[in-house]
């Protein structure tokens, strides 16, 4: 027992200089997607509160490319001192090992979970020119005239791409899937009529549905959205992928000392608990899911296995 206490005390002493160093430098939040997407919106909302809570500057940095892998690898290779964090749609991390035979990092080994942040359901929406005003009408159109509907998504193998595949297969339709460089670009394409359908996080998509640039037809998750009460859930429609959506989380480089991970976990939880932040999350259709490192670690391992089966079943490879 004494040895255990001595080991814990030694670990604390070793981490103390790193903790002091982390407080002296700005916190960099790396978002591996383009500005305007769910991860970017969330990072910029939280950055202001984190500056106050941590007593240090906070910078949001967009490092895009390879479906989030460029930014994720950057954080995985960063110094494990708690000053560089990855804020990402964790579905990208879960799918990467199955999509890439030569992935240059191991998400489960080279990144350390800090905490999940939010879950936001997907909104399935169409451009207003699409002649379908309800979800059943969309399914009928997709079966009868598949060439009339292109599905925009944030990249081959992305979580919303896999969800679109599951849905269209359940509908008995083969729609053209059009990849874009991130969710923001896919939203712009549908809003402009370049593509006709999107399945994307409610945080970024709801404003388009509210102002009429898109028509929302269905939403994933356990319940209807309060600001889109007439839009049914996937479950109500008998569709698969009812629990699909965007799960946003924070990770650091593997090997980051536990006290630094705990400090970041506490700060992100406190930021999400600020009434104004919580109100913004609710407005954006997001549920706060900050539960700490271990639940996040278990979720990521389980999801990596689940989506891996979908990727393999559809024979999707990117290298």
Q: Could you give the angle at the alpha carbon of 314 between the alpha carbons of 195 and 100, nearest 5°?
A: 90
Q: Greater confidence, 116 or 308?
A: 116
Q: Hey, which bits of the chain come out as E strands?
A: 27-31, 58-62, 84-89, 111-126, 150-153, 176-179, 197-201, 215-219, 245-253, 287-288
Residue 81's contacts (CB-CB under 8 Å, 6 or more residues apart) are 18, 21, 22, 256, 260
pLDDT of residue 14 exceeding 90, the answer is no
pLDDT of residue 151 exceeding 60, the answer is yes
Q: What is the CATH number of the domain that holds 94?
A: 3.40.190.150
191 and 206 co-located in one domain:
yes
> Average pLDDT, whole number, for the chain?
90
Q: Dump pLDDT digits (tens) for 176-222.
A: 999 998 888 999 999 999 999 999 988 889 999 999 999 999 999 99
pLDDT of residue 82: 97
Number of domains in the chain: 2
pLDDT of residue 2: 46
272 and 291 co-located in one domain:
yes
* 319 pLDDT tier (thresholds 50, 70, 90): low
In a domain, 207, yes or no: yes
In a domain, 14, yes or no: no
Q: What is the mean pLDDT of residues 297-308?
A: 92
* 133 pLDDT tier (thresholds 50, 70, 90): very high
| CA atoms of 100 and 123, how far apart (whole Å) | 28
Scanning 33-132, the segments in alpha helix (DSSP H) are 38-54, 69-76, 90-99, 107-110
- In percent, how much of the chain has pLDDT > 70? 92
In a domain, 6, yes or no: no
pLDDT of residue 126: 98
138 and 222 co-located in one domain:
yes
Last residue of a domain, one of 209, 237, 265: 237
Identify the H or E element spanning 7.
Answer: helix 2-24
pLDDT of residue 37: 84
pLDDT of residue 239 exceeding 90, the answer is yes
pLDDT of residue 60 exceeding 70, the answer is yes
* 157 pLDDT tier (thresholds 50, 70, 90): confident
227 and 196 co-located in one domain:
yes
pLDDT of residue 309: 87
Q: Dump pLDDT digits (tens) for 16-51.
A: 555 555 667 899 999 999 898 889 999 999 999 999
Domain of 159 in residue numbering reads as 121-237
Q: Greater confidence, 251 or 280?
A: 251
pLDDT of residue 112: 98
Q: What is the CATH number of the domain that holds 156?
A: 3.40.190.10
139 and 230 co-located in one domain:
yes
Q: Are strands 84-89 and 27-31 parallel, antiparallel or unpaired?
A: parallel
Category of 198 on φ-ψ map: left (φ > 0), alpha (ψ -120 to 50) or beta: beta
Last residue of a domain, one of 215, 237, 259: 237
Last residue of a domain, one of 205, 237, 269: 237
pLDDT of residue 105: 96
* 132 pLDDT tier (thresholds 50, 70, 90): very high
Q: What is the mean pLDDT of residues 145-170?
A: 91
pLDDT of residue 9: 45
175 and 273 co-located in one domain:
no
């Amino acid at each position: 027992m004494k040895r255990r206490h001595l080991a814990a005390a030694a670990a604390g002493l070793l981490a103390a200089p790193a903790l002091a160093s982390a407080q002296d430098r700005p916190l960099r939040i790396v978002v591996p997607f383009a500005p305007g997407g769910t991860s970017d919106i969330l990072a910029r909302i939280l950055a202001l509160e984190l500056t106050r809570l941590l007593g240090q500057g906070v910078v949001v940095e967009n490092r895009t490319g390879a479906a989030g892998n460029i930014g994720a690898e950057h954080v995985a290779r960063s110094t494990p001192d708690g000053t560089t964090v990855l804020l990402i749609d964790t579905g990208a991390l879960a799918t990467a090992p199955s999509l890439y035979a030569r992935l240059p990092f191991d998400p489960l080994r080279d990144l350390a979970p800090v905490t999940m942040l939010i879950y936001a359901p997907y909104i399935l929406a169409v451009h207003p020119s699409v002649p379908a005003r309800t979800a059943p009408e969309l399914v009928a159109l997709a079966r009868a005239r598949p060439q009339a509907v292109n599905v925009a998504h944030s990249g081959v193998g992305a979580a919303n791409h896999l969800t679109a595949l599951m849905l269209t297969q359940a509908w008995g339709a083969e729609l053209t899937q059009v990849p874009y460089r991130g969710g923001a670009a896919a939203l712009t394409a549908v809003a402009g009529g370049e593509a006709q359908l999107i399945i994307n996080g409610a945080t970024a998509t709801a404003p388009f549905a509210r102002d009429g640039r898109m028509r929302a037809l269905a939403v994933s998750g356990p319940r209807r959205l309060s600001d889109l009460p007439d839009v049914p859930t996937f479950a109500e429609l008998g569709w698969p992928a009812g629990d699909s959506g965007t799960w946003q989380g924070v990770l650091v480089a593997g090997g980051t000392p536990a006290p630094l991970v705990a400090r970041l976990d506490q700060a992100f939880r406190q930021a999400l608990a600020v009434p104004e932040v919580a109100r913004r999350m609710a407005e954006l259709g997001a549920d706060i899911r900050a539960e700490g490192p271990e639940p996040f670690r278990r979720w990521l391992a389980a999801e990596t296995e689940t989506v891996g089966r979908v990727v393999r079943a559809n024979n999707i490879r990117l290298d």
